[in-house]
Structure 1
Amino acid sequence: MLSPAQCLAIYGGSTVLAYIETSKFEKNHHILLSAPLVILSILTLATTMNPKARFATAMSFLMSAIATYFQSVNRTGPASAIFYTIANVFYYFSYRDIVTSVSSPIVFLAACVSFGQFLHLLQDLLVAIPFLATILTILLASHVVILATSASLCQNGQHGDYDARQASTVRLIGAVLAWLSAFLLLINSFQTHTKELHSVSRIIFYLGNAMLFIANERAF
């Protein structure tokens, strides 16, 4: 079994390689962009997490890899959003059993954020391409679920367990980064497309997945 540090070193190395070979993630090299997440999925299976969490977490990263592939092929296509949503669902199921309660104020705040994103990004798209707008709305909603439950775990989680509290904090950071990267990718795809924004969103995306990996590795 590999240690978490070794797993992160391998994942980080593959991400840096992709960063260099794709000129700061600006070139759409489909395999290289997906490879770090495939590697992270395999590394997750080599951890000592309990089987349910390990499988769900690994599947989440694998679905993200597939989504990244499709997103690099066609940044405005629905396939990537569908697979990113599936990835979020798998990740949620990886830690659902430890979510004892969800804070209503946090849910309300997350819903307001999601509605604001919808108005900012998808209002016009809903009229032009309602099917795609619906899929993207579901994607944003899946991020909100992870944000709300991760924040609730920080607030109401396993208070007596230092590792669990630390994992909850790291998970929340990862959830915020994942949500932010999705938001930036949508802006880059449907509003202002710049290479710099694309690179930043990718860096945040890979960093967020590393945080999500660490969180589940420590929690389970």
Structure 2
Amino acid sequence: MQKIKKVCIYCASSENIDPKYFEATEKLARVLVKNNITVVYGGGSRGLMGRLADTIIAEKGRIVGIMPHFMKEVEFHHKDVNEFIFTADMHERKKQFMVGVDALITLPGGCGTMEELLEAMTLKRLGIFTKPIVILNAFGYYDHLIKMLEFSIEENFMKPIHSDIWKTFEDPEKVLEAIHQSTPWSKDALKYS
């Protein structure tokens, strides 16, 4: 079993969400710190992004923020994050999220979080990105998205093998188990995309 050293987390910047999502984020952050895993994330100081960073910093873990310059200029960046990478734009930011990570983890979020997740799934489908993609379906948040993905397979817009692109889990403390249970993926995936 490969040791997980670095993960990227996609998550929300919204502050107006149910406290249960913040609690799930804290639990996941603590598991990652306990296992000495570096976290790469969007660099924000608000919403789940802020709670993720605050928890990792409080627990003495390592977190890296990646953010376009224009977002720093309006003070969205978390000033206490260990390391920051500032990019020219959102496209470069998404590329940097995937550099050197052992897995991608998606927490509840809005259109930005879902867009990042779906792009990662597309890149995996094409064999460009081959690491585990796990979705924290806390409190059934992603039920409708998962049903839509399954429906796209049923309707032959994707193949049955594409259901192995992602793995869902509901308990934030089971994140490492979800990563390790993910189906290995090949760069040859383009052949059956």
Structure 2-normalised TM-score?
0.25
Compare the two structures and name the one with the higher strand fraction.
2
Q: Which has the larger radius of gyration?
A: 1
